[in-house]
Amino acid sequence: MELAELRAKIRDIKDFPTEGVLFKDITTLLKDAPAFHYVVDALARRYRGDRVDVVIGIESRGFIFGGALAHQLNAGFVPVRKLGKLPGKTIEVEYELEYGRDALAVHEDAIRAGQRVLAVDDLLATGGTMAATLRLIQQLGGQVVGVAFMIELGFLHGRDRLKGYPLHSLIVYD
C-alpha cells in the first residue's frame, strides 16, 4: 500500500474541536482493514529489533495503535490516561495545550526501572502530550527506545519538543 493511499483514507474535518482547526479523522482509515493492518505492520517492522518491553499508548487513539503494536512486538501495554481515569496509585504530570492546560496519569507500577519503552500516539501536533508522557516514563525509570506516530503535522513543529528521542512518523503533512 502506498502512503498516498493511506492519506486518502484520512478525512479532514474543518473547525473541530474548535474553530480554525483542521482535524485529521482517522476513523475512516481504521475501518478499512487492509489500511489499518498496513499501518500497524509498518510501525511494528520499524521497532521489531528494538527489544521493546512495554508499549505505552496515550488516551485515546494511542490505545488503538499501542495495543496492536504491543501484540505485534510481544510486549506489554500501558495506558496513559487523563486524571481520575485510572484506579490505584498513579503519578501525574501537567502540561500545556495549544488552548489551555491538561494533565496525564499512569499507574506508578506501570513501568519498571530499565524497561525498554515505545511511546505511541496517533498524531503528533505540537508535541505537548507526548512530551508529558515521556516525562512520566522517565519518572518511572523507563528507557525510551522510540516515539511513534501514524501522522505528523510537520508544520506545527512538534518534533522540536521531542528532540533527543528517536521519533518516527508514518505519514507527514508539511
**Does the annotation count 61 as an active-site position?**
yes
Tell me which of 61, 92, 101, 161 is the catalytic residue.
Answer: 61
**Does the annotation count 81 as an active-site position?**
no
Spatial contact of 73 and 145, defined as CB atoms under 8 Å apart: no
Burial (CB count within 10 angstroms: exposed 0-12, middle 13-18, buried 19+), residue 170:
middle
- Cα(116)–Cα(143) distance, integer angstroms: 5
Q: Count CB neighbours of 88 within 10 A.
A: 8
Tell me which of 48, 51, 98, 112 is the catalytic residue.
Answer: 98
- Cα(159)–Cα(141) distance, integer angstroms: 23
Which sequence positions are flagged as catalytic? 61, 98
